[in-house]
Amino acid sequence: MGYTLGIDLGTTFTAAAVFRDGRAEIANLGERASAVPSVVFLKDDTTILVGIPAERRAVTEPDRVAREFKRRFGDTTPIFLGGTPLSADLLTAKVLRWVYDTVAAVEGSAPDSLALTYPANWGPYKRELLDQTVNISGLHGARTLTEPEAAAIYYSTNERIDPGQVVAVYDLGGGTFDAAVLERIDDGFRVLGKPEGIERLGGIDFDAAVFAHVTGALGPEMDQLDPEDPATMAAVARLRLDCVEAKEALSADTEASIPVMLPSLRTEVRLTRGELEDKIRATIAETVEAMRRALVSAKKTPDEVTTFLLVGGSSRIPLVADMLTSAFGRPIAVDAHPKHSVSLGAAIAAADSPVGAVPVVTPPSPSVEDAAVPAPRKKGVLVLGLVLVAVLIGVGAFVLPRLGAGNGEGTAATVTTTARQAPVTQPVTATTLPPQPSEPPSEMCGELITSDLTLGEAVANCEGDGLVIGVDGVTIDLGGQLVSGAGTVGTVGIRLNGVTDVTILNGTVSGFGHGVVVENGGGAVLDSVVSTAHRGSGLLATGPDTVVTIVDSEFSANGEAGATFNDGVSATSRTSVFSNNRGTGLGLSGATVSLNGDTIDSNSGAGIAVIGSENQSLSTDLLATGVTLRGNQTGVFFLQGGQGTVEQSLIDGSSESGVRLLDAGEVSILDNQLSKNAQGIRAQSGTLLARGNVIVGSGLGVALEGAEANMTDNEVTLSEGNGFVVTGGVVVMTDNESSRNGGFGFEFGSGATVTDGGGNTASGNSEDCSQVCLISIS
Amino acid sequence: MSKLNEAVRALLAEAVTRTTDPSQAQRLEEQQTRLNEPLRVAIAGKVKAGKSTLLNALVGEELAPTDAGECTKIVTWYREGLTRKVSFVSKDGSKVDAPFERSDGAIEIALNGHTADDIERIEVEWPSSALREMTLIDTPGIGSLTSGISERTERFLALGEDRETPADAVIYLLKHLHSSDLDFLQAFHDDDLADASTVSAIALIARADEIGVGRIDSMASADRIAARYRQEPKLRSLVQTVMPVAALVGQGGVTLTEADFRALGMIAAMEEEPRTALLLTADRFADSDEPVEPSRATRRALLVKYGLFGVRVSVALIVAGEVTSAPVLAQRLVGISGLPALRTYLQSHFASKKDVLKARSALLALSAVAAEQEAAGDPWLAAEVERVQASAHEFVELGMLGALRASTNRLKAADLDSLERLFGRDGVEATVRLGLDPGASQPEVRSSAHAELGRWQRRAESPLSEPDVVHVSRAAMRTCEGILGDLEGA
């Protein structure tokens, strides 16, 4: 489905929006907030992180961080990051490209057209430079327009503004204030007079006012803080964030409490809206004056202005509207998401840009890289920098075909998840199909088997099904032979429909739509069977009372999943291999599966996907014992109510999480070793018990983002970033150990309710946090 | 010469050759000339704010008439000349010599049939070392009784749409923060040169001696008021700093005579009670029958010359035995007046930064021409001016130098010192900025600049840093990056 993209590259925050079917929507760029900080971090390998990951690294490596570089746009003196000179316009190009790729990945396709915004006071030099910047980022043909124009365009889609009418745009952002007066013309808006701006006036100042209130209330304690002590600094950083939250809360509430969790002092400081307003009134008065000057410059009186349009995150502060109303006595309009008005307007404006100016994109693109930053993007960067994108691709890669649904067509059915965004449709084509048969098909092709059978020769090149089992209780010994198909969609290598107690032994099934299908209450034992190179799944089991037992078999290199268990199936597998499949190694939905000693590796999707069924009466339950999961996208992914236990297993080298919970049921992760995963365990929602796991060498050790979690006796060590990060949910932590990680041992965000069960230790973490950083534990 | 100044000169030269409009060419050529002239510092303020007194104190000679009425009705330029000469410059630019005479030192100029309305300005050329580095410009008071006068000043300083500023820097005198003062400052302020706005304006609490009706602690009160004004966000965004000055006391100190000292000594020798009574109000001091010596006439002269505060302070110093001779009293009065601090400030922030302030004036003139050309469909000059401005960190540095000490940031004295040095207080060479030996090698400069950059990067990113410290730190980073960038380019 086509869409257009609008990007607002702000001084402190960057936001994006998409427009399709006459509707503009905010595009999520970050995990916790849709807008991301306009911050970049240059990694050692010269790749670049954008947004929150960059911000996070700023604490430990401030010399590699650039922020507010929009103020430096056009400055010929470079910005030095880690000793490398980079121009502000190059950094801008990188952020721009990052936003573009992020949205394109979420949407599953490149936008039809793109518009981005710039400050109204930019002259011809910066505008020209911006055009060059757009070209550097490989997005030729993007439309550019001023920020107030975009905001006015967005407003005018909801409210009628006739040509000749005048709108005043009051844009109070994080770090800057801009005031502009615009007149509606036939094909948009034009800026009247000279827009006014106040450099260095914005939300940051209000944050500082709240912080000053807190430090004032704390008194001399604050002056005795040791700026060299990492734990203290982390606590102060936390306090600053809490101040920001308090400020935001006071836009809706009349009072807020700010938790203070300094090493030497734990208390709360109260702030009322009235107090905050007193602190910021003078500053807002300055913005009102600037607005007045903009009106004078535009030769308009307030009475001639149809609406004062409030834009920018800080314009939500109620005092702003109050003061503007009393100053100008005109209607005030403020959107529910004033931070996004500009990007939303840009997305709409992009739809008006000429067709043919469509940038071509293959996300993520190496074309952003240039002489100054020559190394190509590595996967690791994507993991940290593009978490959201990777997540969504991950969801899309769960391919759970359902029989009779035209599966195997080369396009994948997608699982509808409760993820915040629509899942991406990821085209999947089997690349491992056998060559077109030159031999004629065997006579046995499609034969209905009604008694025990041992193959003496191959059943090859079948154009339809291979073998169809017609009665209960038969044993098919493939005799080491090959049953192969012509790769025809909809065909099945061995089909069991409703027949039970069937045993299939010792042979290879290859090149059908699906390999082995067991359905409608069928029952089968697969022993030493290899099912490979099918368009769809190696094994597909579905239907109530269907029972499958797998022993020493292999399901590999299939176009979709290695094995799929749906809708009431119960299955066990022992010492089998599920590898190199284009979808998941093994997927279950509404099925009960137990694994013992299996190997699940190198699948493009998750190693095991445990997905709750739409049919509430069917539970989805996994028991995996002694399983080896290696090199999958996510090791084990529980979502949509999927539940189960993974124990005594090895989960290694996942490009995303080792174990992940998203809307999961009850999940137990016991006594496993998780090594070298991008995140060891990531729990966004669901119920998690993690006990006795050793989590080594992850990007992030354990990330708890909203689940109800009991973390006991886990050891997290040698992570690239933090050991434990808790940003949400209700968490009990007991006897965990976090050591030698690159970030904090433990980091707790204020969104989480954490109970310290005692016995948690941290040691030898990065130099800035060699001890437990219990920041807001309660 | 700064990179900025070079860039501006180059741009002016190219703009002159490109323009086809003779009037634009003329304006640009004037700017070229002006770049080589002394800095133009305007003294502005409300009526009776003490502008002429300050001007006299700065020149060290009583040139500007300072009677109690509103005397300065026409913009008057005081520039260095070989001989004493006064001329009228009329609106059409023509210049005629004007006859003048001095009465009590002050210059009295005969208008000879001219009116204030047809004279653009008076130019006084005077042999004075104080005028060598700066041309001082006396302006009519703002909020004058006749609105025409203040309009003349506003036209002179702000010039509305046409944004060429005849002054490179402004000393603004204020008695109390008043809204008309702020409007005026706002007009002088120009947003286009981000951060440049405050580089060239300072505010003085003039007539600081009259605060608290001339009480002996008046200067201390003025200091406190100045300190408070420095924190006033509105004012801080408009001027670099606020200082107290008692120009009358300073001028009195400079011109103190032995006769004055003797008269003051007589008052000091009086019994405490009658002395206190005498010094209670200006009226009593001037009109009291007692004492006979110094006479009423002498006392009146003292009052005019030193003001009530100056008299009180002098007497108190003599009574306390702190001062026993005329030279010492002269020195003390000058010190108390705040003039030396002002001179130092002007020297370090205006005169030594002439290069940058001149570039700023030229850039303003260029943008005025650029706006005309852009409106006529040629954006070349507008783009060029924007390009130069985008790299003009010099304005930020100058603003920082002015504002650092005045702000309430939590930087330690050592940090402030190295910041000021970094921003070019002692000179703009990389070695001076970094505090290195002048002969330091390029690798030494490079590693020192990297170290300094890292220091301010850490400061900028520290969660303890308040926004103003972050702002200063980023400016320091940019300075270091400028040094490193130059090395890369070299």
- Say whether B374 and A124 touch across the interface (CB within 8 A): yes
Long-range Cβ contact pairs of A514-519 (< 8 A, separation 24 or more):
A514/A401, A514/A407, A514/A408, A514/A538, A514/A539, A514/A540, A515/A539, A515/A540, A515/A555, A515/A558, A516/A492, A516/A540, A517/A403, A517/A492, A517/A541, A517/A542, A518/A542, A518/A546, A518/A548, A518/A569, A519/A403, A519/A543, A519/A546
ipTM: 0.75
Which residue has tokens 């690791």? A380
Mutation for testing the A interface, residue in B481, B483, B486 having most A CBs under 10 Å: B481
Model pLDDT for residues A659-704, shown as the tens digit of each residue: 999 889 999 999 999 988 888 999 989 999 999 999 988 888 999 9
Least Cα separation, residue A331 to chain B (angstroms): 27
Q: Nearest Cα to B80, choosing from B10, B11, B118, B131?
A: B131
**Residue of A627 and A261 predicted with greater confidence:** A627
Q: Per-residue confidence at B199, pLDDT binned at 50, 70, 90?
A: low
Q: Nearest Cα to A334, choosing from A349, A321, A319, A344?
A: A321
Instruction: Map A465-478 to HEC letters.
Output: CCEEECCCCCEEEC
Q: Residue A63: its chain B contacts at CB < 8 A?
A: 453-454, 457-458
Q: What is the pLDDT of residue B17?
A: 92
Least Cα separation, residue B459 to chain A (angstroms): 9
Burial class (CB in 10 A: 0-12, 13-18, 19+), A439: exposed
Query: Chain A: residue nearest B410 by CA?
Result: A223
What gap in Å lies between CA B334 and CA A135, rounded to an integer? 63
Is pLDDT of A385 > 80? no
- Say whether B393 and A77 touch across the interface (CB within 8 A): yes
Q: What is the pLDDT of residue A284?
A: 93
Angle (CA) B373 B375 B380, round 5°: 40
Model pLDDT for residues B206-250, shown as the tens digit of each residue: 777 777 666 777 778 788 878 877 777 667 667 778 888 888 898
Which range among A402-406, A741-745, B415-419 shows the weakest confidence by mean pLDDT? A402-406
Nearest to B484 among A76, A80, A236 (CB): A80
Q: What is the pLDDT of residue A478?
A: 92
Question: Measuring CA to CA, how many Å separate A380 from each of A81, A84, A91, B236?
Answer: 20, 21, 20, 47
Question: Measuring CA to CA, how many Å separate A453 from each of A194, A467, A479, A525?
Answer: 89, 11, 9, 15
Burial class (CB in 10 A: 0-12, 13-18, 19+), B404: buried
SS3 A328: helix
Concatenated DSSP letters of A690-754: EES-EEES-SEEEEEEEEEEEEES-EEES-SS-SEEEEEEEEEEES-EEES-SS-SEEE-TTEEE
- Say whether A77 and B482 touch across the interface (CB within 8 A): yes
Q: Nearest Cα to B197, choosing from B231, B170, B177?
A: B170
Residue B394 is encoded by which pair of tokens? 């010099």
Q: Per-residue confidence at A421, pLDDT binned at 50, 70, 90?
A: very low
Give Cβ neighbours of residue B225 (< 8 Å, ≥ 6 apart): B205, B211, B244
**Strand B119-126 with B85-90, pairing:** antiparallel
Residue A510 is encoded by which pair of tokens? 């290859």
Question: Measuring CA to CA, how many Å separate A87 from each of A79, A137, B412?
Answer: 6, 14, 32
Least Cα separation, residue A773 to chain B (angstroms): 15
Q: What is the mean pLDDT of residues B96-106?
A: 75
Beta carbons of B246 and B338 less than 8 angstroms apart: yes
- Say whether A62 and B194 touch across the interface (CB within 8 A): no
Least Cα separation, residue B289 to chain A (angstroms): 53
- Say whether B474 and A68 touch across the interface (CB within 8 A): yes
- Say whether B466 and A208 touch across the interface (CB within 8 A): yes
What gap in Å lies between CA A302 and CA A642, rounded to an integer? 59
Residue type (1 letter), A70: K
- Say whether A237 and B453 touch across the interface (CB within 8 A): no
Q: What is the pLDDT of residue A365?
A: 38
Radius of gyration of chain A (CA): 30
What gap in Å lies between CA B356 and CA B339, rounded to an integer? 24
What gap in Å lies between CA A728 and CA A776, rounded to an integer? 12
Least Cα separation, residue A767 to chain B (angstroms): 15
What gap in Å lies between CA A489 and CA A511, rounded to an integer? 10
Is pLDDT of A163 > 90? yes
Helices (H) and strands (E) in chain A, counts: 11, 56
Q: What is the mean pLDDT of residues A510-527?
A: 90
CA A43 to chain centre: 20
Q: What is the pLDDT of residue B181?
A: 60
Concatenated DSSP letters of B267-281: HHHS-HHHHHHHTS-
What gap in Å lies between CA A524 and CA A508, rounded to an integer? 16
Q: What is the pLDDT of residue B212?
A: 65
The DSSP secondary-structure symbol of B93 reads S
Which residue has tokens 């933090």? A722
Q: Residue A237: its chain B contacts at CB < 8 A?
A: 463
Least Cα separation, residue A203 to chain B (angstroms): 11
Residue A668 is encoded by which pair of tokens? 């137990």
Euclidean distance between the first and the last CA atom of chain A, given in angstroms as a whole number: 47
Q: Nearest Cα to B126, choosing from B92, B80, B75?
A: B80
Give Cβ neighbours of residue A547 (< 8 Å, ≥ 6 apart): A500, A522, A523, A524, A569, A570, A571
Peptide bond preceding B294: is omega within 30 degrees of 0, i.e. cis? yes
Model pLDDT for residues A191-249, shown as the tens digit of each residue: 999 898 888 889 988 998 999 899 888 888 777 788 778 788 888 888 888 999 999 89
Query: Chain B: residue nearest A236 by CA?
Result: B463
- Say whether B191 and A59 touch across the interface (CB within 8 A): no
Q: Residue B409: its chain A contacts at CB < 8 A?
A: none
Main-chain phi, psi angles of A207, to 5 degrees? -60, -45
Q: What is the pLDDT of residue B478?
A: 96
Q: What is the pLDDT of residue B353?
A: 79
**Residue of B143 and A113 predicted with greater confidence:** A113
Model pLDDT for residues A584-623, shown as the tens digit of each residue: 999 999 999 999 999 999 888 899 999 988 887 888 999 9
Beta carbons of B239 and B307 less than 8 angstroms apart: no
| Max Cα distance, chain A (Å) | 96
Q: Per-residue confidence at B176, pLDDT binned at 50, 70, 90?
A: low
Q: Residue A121: its chain B contacts at CB < 8 A?
A: 191-192
What gap in Å lies between CA B298 and CA B304, rounded to an integer? 10
Q: What is the pLDDT of residue A358?
A: 40
Beta carbons of B389 and B192 less than 8 angstroms apart: yes
Residue A663 is encoded by which pair of tokens? 């809307």
Q: Nearest Cα to A660, choosing from A385, A381, A390, A363?
A: A390
The DSSP secondary-structure symbol of B347 reads I
Is pLDDT of A482 > 60? yes
What gap in Å lies between CA A425 and CA A414, rounded to an integer? 6
Q: Per-residue confidence at B184, pLDDT binned at 50, 70, 90?
A: low
Q: What is the mean pLDDT of residues A487-508?
A: 89
- Say whether B464 and A73 touch across the interface (CB within 8 A): no
Using an 8 Å CB-CB cutoff, list residues of chain B that contact chain A: 191-192, 194-195, 233-234, 237, 374, 379, 382-387, 390-391, 393, 450, 453-454, 457-458, 460-464, 466-467, 471, 474, 478, 480-482, 484-485, 488
Is pLDDT of A532 > 70? yes
Query: Chain A: residue nearest B469 by CA?
Result: A208
Residue A382 is encoded by which pair of tokens? 């994507």
Nearest to A123 among B382, B391, B393 (CB): B382
Query: Chain A: residue nearest B482 by CA?
Result: A77
Model pLDDT for residues A95-149, shown as the tens digit of each residue: 999 999 999 988 889 999 999 999 998 999 999 999 999 998 889 889 999 999 9
- pTM for the whole thing? 0.61
Range ranked top by mean pLDDT from B203-207, B285-289, B475-479: B475-479
Is pLDDT of A390 > 70? no
Range ranked top by mean pLDDT from A635-649, A728-742, B170-184: A635-649
Concatenated DSSP letters of A487-545: --TT-EEEEEES--SEEEEEEEEESSSEEEEEETT-EEEEEEEEEES-SS-SEEEESTT
Main-chain phi, psi angles of A144, to 5 degrees? -120, 145
Q: Nearest Cα to A117, choosing from A68, A155, A150?
A: A150
Beta carbons of B488 and A85 less than 8 angstroms apart: yes
Instruction: Map B122-161 to HEC letters.
Output: EEEEECCHHHCCEEEEECCCECCCCHHHHHHHHHHHCCCC
Is pLDDT of A425 > 70? no
Average pLDDT of the residues of chain A: 83
The count of other CB atoms within 10 Å of the CB of residue A470 is 15
Model pLDDT for residues A367-378, shown as the tens digit of each residue: 333 333 333 333
What gap in Å lies between CA A3 and CA A437, rounded to an integer? 43
CB contacts < 8 A, A to B, total 103
Q: What is the pLDDT of residue B261?
A: 95
Question: Measuring CA to CA, how many Å separate B465 from each of A46, A603, A729, B128?
Answer: 28, 48, 31, 47
Beta carbons of A428 and A398 less than 8 angstroms apart: no
Mutation for testing the B interface, residue in A75, A86, A127, A199 having most B CBs under 10 Å: A75
Q: Residue A208: its chain B contacts at CB < 8 A?
A: 466-467
- Say whether A83 and B234 touch across the interface (CB within 8 A): no
What gap in Å lies between CA A178 and CA A309, rounded to an integer? 12
- Say whether B485 and A196 touch across the interface (CB within 8 A): no
Residue type (1 letter), B415: D
Least Cα separation, residue B301 to chain A (angstroms): 46
Which residue has tokens 């910047």? A133
Least Cα separation, residue A762 to chain B (angstroms): 23
